[in-house]
Amino acid sequence: MGRTAIDTASTAGHPEAVASSVAGAGPWRAAVRRLVHDRSAVAGLIVLALIAAVAVAAPLVAPYDPLVQHDIVALKNQAPSLAHPFGTDEFSRDVLTRLMYGGRVSLAVAFLSVLLAATVGTAYGAIAGYLGGAADTVLMRVVDALLAIPRVLLLIAVATLWNGLEITGLVLLLGLTGWFGVSRLVRTLVIGSRDSEFVTAARALGAGDTRILVQHILPHVVSPVLVAATLGVGNVIVIEAGLTFLGMGVQPPHASWGSVFHDGMNAFASSWWVSFFAGAALVVTVLAVNLVADGLREALNARQLPAR
């Protein structure tokens, strides 16, 4: 596992300490060390970083303008070539450029909505778990009820009613329908640490409820939530693509991976490259996200094992 004894200097000569000085740094640094030794997680991280970097730098690195229709007659549905590595779509727009810009939307929507979902879910679940009793029961029955509604149906219904959804709206929509699972997870974790002795000890030393919840309990929730959120990013990328594909997500002419995929479907038989590269961007990204999530889970799970 690549652990090294690095702090022998401070413990040398104290018999009580001999057994203890293995892991060295704190739990977070130990987790990072485990993560960088996980090859598939590192591969996933590198792929994600590349995709994110290209998306962020799209205005600088994209060969064309994503909205410009270069020559709607002569240049439409061009197969991949040196000038257009991923070909052009039926409006003669450059697919590579549109995927670069589309990545900005797809990744931003996924990241922001998961951030929102994780925050709401953590707060809600933490409050329910910490309060316990009747408050917990009521709060969690609400979540049960919300979970009983199929998410995609709910999304389609809201997106249909909410004509011409802005990206902000999409983020809110995906975020506010994505926190139920997180709240359940957090509630369980909070209940687990609420009754632990270190919480009683903190209370015995004079800490108040807020301090106990924020300082002592929430740090124990962070890593499982991080894993769940990472998996959530992959999930939301797919949902957003699906919504957009159905015409209820990102509105044309703006590009997202889902909309590029949709654009290519009309002429898939003759010009496969439009949908193919959009689909490839989705698959590669989601795969990378899941590799990272798996790596995180491994790295963080071992966190609290005593290092001796």
Task: Give the residues lining the site for another protein (CB under 8 A).
Answer: 7, 10-11, 13-14, 16-17, 19-23, 26-27, 132-133, 195-198, 200-208, 211, 215-216, 219-220, 304, 306-308
The alpha carbon of 259 is separated from its chain's Cα centroid by a whole number of angstroms, namely 20
Residue 47: both structure tokens together = 């792929």
Give the CA angle between residues 48, 52, 53 to the nearest 5°: 115
Q: Which is nearer to another protein, 168 or 304 (CB)?
A: 304
In contact, 98 and 162? CB cutoff 8 Å = no
Q: Which is nearer to another protein, 215 or 266 (CB)?
A: 215
Name the minimum Å distance from CB 53 to another protein: 32
Question: Would you tell me how many other CB atoms lie within 10 Å of the CB of residue 38?
Answer: 18
Burial code (b: 16+ CB inside 10 Å, e: under 16) for 207-225 equals eeeeebbeebbbebbebbb
Category of 208 on φ-ψ map: left (φ > 0), alpha (ψ -120 to 50) or beta: beta
Name the minimum Å distance from CB 295 to another protein: 20
Distance CA 157, CA 159 (A): 6
Q: Which is nearer to another protein, 28 or 268 (CB)?
A: 28
Category of 247 on φ-ψ map: left (φ > 0), alpha (ψ -120 to 50) or beta: left
Name the minimum Å distance from CB 302 to another protein: 12
DSSP string, 139-195: HHHHHHHHHTS-HHHHHHHHHHHS-S--HHHHHHHHHHTS-HHHHHHHHHHHHHHHT
Q: Which is nearer to another protein, 160 or 215 (CB)?
A: 215
Name the minimum Å distance from CB 292 to another protein: 22
Name the minimum Å distance from CB 121 to another protein: 21
Name the minimum Å distance from CB 23 to another protein: 7
Q: Which is nearer to another protein, 2 or 150 (CB)?
A: 2
Q: Which is nearer to another protein, 9 or 161 (CB)?
A: 9
